[in-house]
Every structure is written in C-alpha cells, then in structure tokens.
Chain A
Amino acid sequence: MPTTFLIVAASCAALLTFPAFYGAIRGPSLYDRIVSINVISTVSIIAIALLSFAFDNTSFLDVALVFALCGFVGTTAIIKAIRSGSLGRKTKP
C-alpha cells in the first residue's frame, strides 16, 4: 500500500468535514445540526485511522477508538439534555 494513497485518502476524508460543517451551520432545526456533527465525528475517525497507517504509528488507532466512544457519549448526552432540560433527571412525560 503506497503511503501517498493513504495520505490522499485521509485528506479526502478530512475535506469532507467542511460540507458537513456547512450543514451544521445551515441546518434549520436543532436535529439537523446534531446529525451533521455526528457525520463530522465519523469522518474524523476514518481520517485518524487512515493517518495511523500512513505514518506507521499505530497508537493513533487508540485515538480513533476513544474518539468513537466520546462521540457516542456526547451525542447521547446532547439529546438527553435537549429532551429533558437536564442531564440528571428523567425525561419529561
């Protein structure tokens, strides 16, 4: 696997964050923005995983794994905070 292909693929994946960021700015409702931020998180995971093989530094894979965990927890916390107004209480009936 040539390293230049991996770097070009990671650059393409990183450039895809800009249209998703435009979607996050534009989105008419709050949920469009959450979907766009979710896409930014996924594309960043892909870019980090590609860069870890491009640089032959496999500790970046741990970074990608932790990024996936944090993205899921963050999105779930945002939705819970929106729906119940708080992070600790139960959702409104």
Chain B
Amino acid sequence: MIITILQIALISLGLFFLFAGVVGLIRLPDVFTRMHATTMCDTMGVFFVLAGLMLRPGNWANLVKLCMILGFLWLTSPTVAHLIGQAAWLDGVPMYGISRDKGGADND
C-alpha cells in the first residue's frame, strides 16, 4: 500500500518535470534557454518516472533493464546537450537579450 502510494507520487512528480520541460521548450525565447529546460526534463523527469517503476515488486531483470536505461540516459543526454550548445554557439545563433559582438563565433 505504501509502496503503491510512493510509486504514484514518484511517477506524478516525474510527469510534472516532463511537463515543465516541454513548457520551457515552448515558452523560452532562445536555443540555450530552451536547452536548459529540456535537459532538466531529461534528467529529473526520467529519474523520477523510472524510480517509481523500479519500486514495483517483480523479477530482477526489469530492475536491471530500468537501471541500464537510466544510466544510459544520464550518460548521453548531457553529452548531446553539450554538442547542441557547442554547435549552436559556433554557428553564431543569437542569444536573447545579450549582444554577441564581443566573444562571438571567432573566439571559441
């Protein structure tokens, strides 16, 4: 009973984080600020939903698979975010509210 309530709370919290990430993707004005919102959705939302699923009593194979999904996403999503940010910065994408005259694409 307690485990069920904890599972529902964790999955709801993870879905809230995913929702906040998508709202940030729609509302924020810039590539870099959008990326800041969506990487939070990648780490926290995925962690809470998969932790809620890990609490389910079952066989160990599901737990190992969920741990592999979580570890792989935590390993790759910051890498992808860094790659996108670096590519956008070197391509000279304008930043919202900040002038890129000094320290622009020439100064990587």
Contacts and interface: CB of A to CB of B under 8 A. Distances in A.
State the majority secondary structure of interface residues on B.
helix
B16 to A, nearest CB: 10
Contacts of B61: 58
Interface in A20-62: 20, 22-23, 29, 31-32, 34-36, 38-39, 42-43, 45-46, 49-50, 53, 58, 61-62
B76 A58 contact: no
A68 B26 contact: no
A1 B7 CA distance: 7
Contacts, number: 124
Interface size class of A (residues with CB under 8 A): 35 or more
A39 B22 contact: yes
Interface size class of B (residues with CB under 8 A): 35 or more
Q: Which 6 A-B pairs have the closest CB atoms?
A: A72-B76, A31-B88, A61-B65, A31-B31, A79-B83, A19-B22
A32 B31 contact: yes
Contacts of B83: 75-76, 79
A45 B38 contact: no
